[in-house]
């Protein structure tokens, strides 16, 4: 099922996203967020350029959440985290800024933010930042690749 890259203006369809991939399945990928709102902030995306969960077949839906579960396990191991916020927005009215389905997984630890809910506004800013690279605090390239390599190593050992 590779090669469904159908939207050239989409950051998740572009080749540049490959450097952030740490877990790879036939139909889905896990990538490390280039501007994480908290350490470990990762995204699960289908390779296919689709907007909504509603477009999945049963099989695709199952594969997507298998990828999400395995990604969660990798993050748990790599970041020693046990608590997570998950977020998936569909359509701009709901805060989706990149029109390619993506599930955020954000590890949480006690006291990481002033208020529990503060991650969500950060996430919204972050998503917009994916498009406008001038406005986001990005990880330095060296740091990003170090984290991605570490996560790939954990993913290999988890043998998914």
How many whole angstroms separate alpha carbon 5 and alpha carbon 120? 29
Q: Output the residue with the shortest Cβ distance to Zn ion.
A: 10
The conformation of residue 18, written as its DSSP 8-state character, comes to G
Query: Using an 8 Å Cβ cutoff, are 89 and 95 in contact?
Result: yes
Residue 145 Cα distances to 9, 58, 78, 137, angstroms: 24, 34, 14, 16
As measured in angstroms, the least distance from the Cβ of 39 to Zn ion is 26
> Among the candidate windows 24-32, 35-43, 94-102, 111-119, which touches Zn ion by CB under 5 A?
94-102
102 is catalytic: yes
Answer for which of 21, 24, 49, 97 binds Zn ion (CB under 5 A) is: 49
Does position 100 bind Zn ion by CB under 5 A? yes
Query: Using an 8 Å Cβ cutoff, are 49 and 6 in contact?
Result: yes
- Of 100, 102, 104, 160, the active-site residue reads 102
As measured in angstroms, the least distance from the Cβ of 116 to Zn ion is 31
Binding interface with Zn ion (CB under 5 A): 7, 10, 12-13, 49, 100
Which residues are known catalytic residues? Answer: 102
């Amino acid at each position: 099922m590779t090669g469904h890259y159908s939207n050239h203006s989409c950051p998740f369809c572009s080749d540049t996203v490959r450097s952030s991939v740490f877990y790879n399945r036939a139909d889905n990928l896990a990538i490390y967020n280039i501007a994480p709102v908290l350490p470990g902030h990762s995204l699960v995306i289908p390779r296919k350029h689709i907007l909504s969960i509603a477009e999945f077949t049963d099989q695709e839906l199952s594969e997507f959440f298998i990828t999400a579960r395995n990604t969660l396990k990798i993050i748990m191991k790599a970041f020693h985290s046990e608590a997570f916020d998950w977020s998936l927005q569909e359509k701009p009215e709901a805060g989706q800024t990149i029109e390619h389905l993506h599930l955020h997984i954000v590890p949480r630890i006690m006291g990481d933010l002033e208020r529990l809910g503060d991650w969500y506004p950060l996430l919204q800013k972050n998503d917009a930042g994916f498009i406008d690279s001038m406005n986001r605090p990005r990880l330095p390239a060296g740091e990003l690749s170090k984290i991605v390599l570490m996560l790939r190593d954990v993913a290999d050992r988890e043998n998914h």
